[in-house]
Structure 1
């Protein structure tokens, strides 16, 4: 089901380029608290409103990654648009993602990219931005609406226990956290070698359920299934998903596996 696209104040619709994150079904008290104190959005590759960048570019239309070879002016323009969806006191922190398992605790926004593949904050007015183009964006929020995290869930960070590392930086106990899993490459389009499956199964035999044998003897990996198993094993039970495939839907999403030279979407979460 398509998610409704609305702005920070939830008073009017934004265009189809931006989608608001929908948290798991929870108690009315928790839902109100989270909606009152937390805002999160997911971008697509669709251009906001009427402006469109170079239609011949592989980065068209709404690339947010400065590291992929796109025109820096176009990217900054797109990032500035995202910034306008938030009150002026909120600033977005961008990261240099290296497919590792480092988690940053952010207490103030830096003008420089922080090298990390996940981030945690308990401070208001800080937007944590994770960029993806097939990898899985993961967001965590406390039921009190006072602590958030954003995680870049590629297979390498996941096998390196980035979710666990993130929880170790958080003060909220896992049973009091809600999780959201965003769009990523689907299992039927994500072929990996035996060594990838082996790394997960060595940790827990249960991960074998997230892999199917491909026609050529390799495996098809399910990032959503892997992340859900890790979250549940760590004590997080309230999980919602936007299970759309980036590889199969490149009119809407960027896909590195499909196009190689392409842009990046952003998933941004902040405490109001």
Structure 2
């Protein structure tokens, strides 16, 4: 399935699997969702639900997943769910922006189209988590909430930041700048001025600051170098395209 996914760029623990899907290489969706759109009815921006369901079924088969993913209804919040059993296919999608599991074979999934997908794993491979953190969730403490929901101490975790809006393309306004700098004055270093009251924001750098502040070692935070806005051939991007499909970042412990 190498044409349809990017494996996590980290020295992942033995038995832990993680990847992000690409927009092409699989799937059946038509433009502007072509072709491997995995967004649900809350995030698909108008794609045919039956086609999305077909894409999701293909994902399970092509990636040889141990079970169907636990899909979430993401709302840019800070709720984290614990999953102890595999998902039921076409089951209810609970509202949350992150999930945690210690059960082998339980597949976690996060949908994005510019927001940060962040995968966490205990270094001993005993626990994994996946979080969705756009700027609203990141500023509210989504990553901190995910770490708090894990049994593994932050110092014993590693993380991978998947494809997201990159620091060369993601322009934000004063509201975004102010909310991060109010929390951490030194976060201003993650913003580059472009025009009055506008900045290019480095979301991965902001995420790293928060993870390190929680006790993770900087060397254990990987990724953050893939820009969804800059690569239309590989990634969906809501900022770039308006109506857009969703890529998915998945993580699990191999049974």
Shorter-chain TM-score above 0.5 = yes
Preserved contact between residue 29 and residue 37 of structure 2 (Cα < 8 Å): no
Is 1:19 paired with 2:6? yes
Instruction: Provide the C-alpha distance between the structure 1 equivalents of 2:164 and 2:201, rounded to a whole number of angstroms.
Output: 12
Instruction: Provide the C-alpha distance between the structure 1 equivalents of 2:163 and 2:63, rounded to a whole number of angstroms.
Output: 22
**1:38-49 aligned within 5 A:** 38-48=16-26
Paired position in structure 2 for 1:137: 117
Aligned partner of residue 230 in structure 1, secondary structure: helix
**1:118-133 aligned within 5 A:** 118-133=98-113
Is 1:103 paired with 2:90? no
**1:162-173 aligned within 5 A:** 162-173=142-153
Corresponding residue to 1:217 among 165, 183, 197: 197
> Normalized against structure 2, the TM-score is what?
0.91
Aligned partner of residue 74 in structure 1, secondary structure: helix
Paired position in structure 2 for 1:4: none
Structure 1 residues 203, 45: closer, same or farther in 2, change over 3 A?
A: same
Gap regions ≥5 residues in structure 1? 1-13, 25-30
Indicate the RMSD between aligned Cα atoms, in angstroms.
1.6
Preserved contact between residue 91 and residue 125 of structure 1 (Cα < 8 Å): no
> Normalized against structure 1, the TM-score is what?
0.86
* 1:79-137 Cα shifts (integer Å, max 9, x gaps): 11211145564231000000111111112325110110111111111110000000111
Aligned partner of residue 189 in structure 1, secondary structure: coil
Instruction: Provide the C-alpha distance between the structure 2 equivalents of 1:178 and 1:249, rounded to a whole number of angstroms.
Output: 26
Corresponding residue to 1:155 among 135, 142, 146: 135
* 1:206-245 Cα shifts (integer Å, max 9, x gaps): 2111111112431111111100111111111211105121
Aligned partner of residue 91 in structure 1, secondary structure: coil
Gap regions ≥5 residues in structure 2? none
Aligned partner of residue 167 in structure 1, secondary structure: helix
Corresponding residue to 1:66 among 40, 59, 64: 40
Paired residues in the alignment total: 246
Paired position in structure 2 for 1:234: 214
Residue 141 of structure 1 and its aligned partner are, at CA, apart by 0.1
